Amino acid sequence: MIIKNKIKGNGYYNEFTLSTEEPLSKKTWFSSIFLSLALISLSSVPATKTYASGVNMEGLGIRAMSMGSAFIGLADDASAVFWNPAGLSQLKGAGYTFGVYSMTADVDAKNGVSNNSLPGGDYDPNKGDLFPGFYPSEPTNFDDDEELWLGAATMPSFLIFKNFGRYTLAGGAFGVGGAYSSYNDKIFDPANDAEIEADVFAVLGLMSINGSIGYQVTQKLSVGFGVDMLINVWRGDVKKDYISASDSDWNYNYDAKIRKWGYGFQGNIGVLYKFNEQWSVGAIYRTGSDIKLEGDTKIRLKGGSNIDPFKTNEKSDGHTDFEYGASWGVGVAYKPTKKLTFTYDYRENDWSDFNWPGSNATFDEPGKFLQNVDGDPGWNRAHGYSVGTEYLLNNKITLRAGYTNESSGVPSEFENPATITLGDIQIANVGMGIQYDTWKVDVLVGTMWGGTGYGVDHRCYDFGISFMRML
């Protein structure tokens, strides 16, 4: 017979078919539900969004981030390729910058990773569930509700620029965003005298190779244009072991692996207007990009006789559509004196059409577990503002500070220590610049904190350093 089931997720249905020559047993019915959702569960891996609006990081440039990422209306160094390419027209001569930014995440949740049961349970991969409980006696949550990820978001950068009168060309390679997760915990099922161990490791990296040009139209007005080739790499590993001390028929081992990558292109358009030596305003629009992540997925489930209806060993090439949303921002810079600068930015990110790797997948060889899915994870628009200041202490040392307040475009129901999506966040950074001959060193330290209505709180610790040399 052909069994059709429709599983309602977060605003959409996933339809699948299961063929069998035998009448449906309780185990087979249970299996049919799980097989429909197993891939989505695996695809829920990416974690720890290091910027509230989706997968974006704080930005580019240690100096700019030290000023709270309020740089659109100033944009007077090489990081303008990201903040506002029109600002490149202010640069003179030629030079290059290289550096690294790193963030350590400390996550505290009211519950550990979910282990909701099927059927008849609360398992819902569209709400961040990674692991389904095969047996009704399994606990609904793992115990570990605190995680510390050292250097979870670490991104290098390299920029170079050269001025040609009214034109300035610039470009480089740098991190745009990403995600990271590492989780391991054990719980017990007393009904079957079993130990259950969960293990997750996932990395989602989004890098840009950029080329930009800034042009000074008049003494007051500049425009700029840039192109990002966005390279996206995704690795996910999910493993769950159920080991019974009294009866091996209950044992099972679930192992899933994803290896995918892809690229797309994004356009950046900027404008900068300088009213006078004290005031300037700027604006930036980024088009976003559709990125097709291609690669293979493997899922294997083996174990004792009680897990027989679920057993499989599958592998297939396929792709996931990663929709990177458009964004825009405006900023103003004010210099009351030659030594002091204040900046303010307002930004919006449109994640309403965002497809993250957990919301869709297409396989060349669909199987019991590798089901094609196409859904809407329910992300939305997000906005935020930043304020910053810079003070030239003397001809060698510059002091900086900044603050960001960012709302979230990510639904809160994804939250747990392994699939953490951050709610509304706040960021406070301080930094220093040291000038020595043709070299300049910029250093940043800071913290990010926030929480959600679902009881997941986080604090991140940031560090960054960059070196710039004028040629």
Residues in the chain: 471
How are beta strands 94-109 and 13-19 bridged, if at all?
A: unpaired
In the chain, % of residues over pLDDT 70: 81
Segment 1-12 shows an average pLDDT of 31
pLDDT of residue 406: 86
Query: 416 in helix, strand or coil?
Result: coil
Which letter, b or e, does each residue of 268-288 get, where b requires 16 or more Cβ atoms within 10 Å of its Cβ?
A: bbbbbbbeeeeebbbbbebbb
pLDDT band at 143 (very low <50, low <70, confident <90, very high): confident
Highest mean pLDDT among 19-28, 357-366, 396-405: 396-405
pLDDT of residue 177: 83
pLDDT of residue 196: 94
| Cβ neighbour number for residue 65 with a 10 Å cutoff | 30
Model confidence pLDDT, tens digit, residues 56-106: 778 899 999 999 999 999 999 999 999 999 999 999 999 999 999 998 888
* Count of helix runs (H) and strand runs (E) in the chain: 3, 20
Q: Rounded CA gap, 155 and 60, in Å?
A: 10
> Is the model's pTM score more than 0.75?
yes
Which positions ≥6 away from 335 have C-beta within 8 Å?
A: 277, 278, 279, 341, 342
Q: Rounded CA gap, 359 and 376, in Å?
A: 6
Contact of 382 with 411, CB cutoff 8 Å? no
pLDDT of residue 419: 54
Which of 135-149, 190-204, 248-262, 290-304 is predicted least confidently?
135-149
- Dihedral (Cα; 167, 172, 176, 182), 10-degree rounding: -170
Residue 134 exposure: Cα atoms within 13 Å on the Cβ side: 27
Q: Rounded CA gap, 70 and 66, in Å?
A: 9
Q: Rounded CA gap, 103 and 136, in Å?
A: 39
Place of tokens 């339809």: 15
* Residue 329 pLDDT greater than 80, yes or no: yes
pLDDT of residue 10: 31
- The beta strands (E) that lie in 52-113 are given as 94-109
How are beta strands 425-436 and 439-451 bridged, if at all?
A: antiparallel
Which positions ≥6 away from 311 have C-beta within 8 Å?
A: 301, 302, 303
pLDDT of residue 239: 93
pLDDT band at 441 (very low <50, low <70, confident <90, very high): very high
pLDDT of residue 31: 37
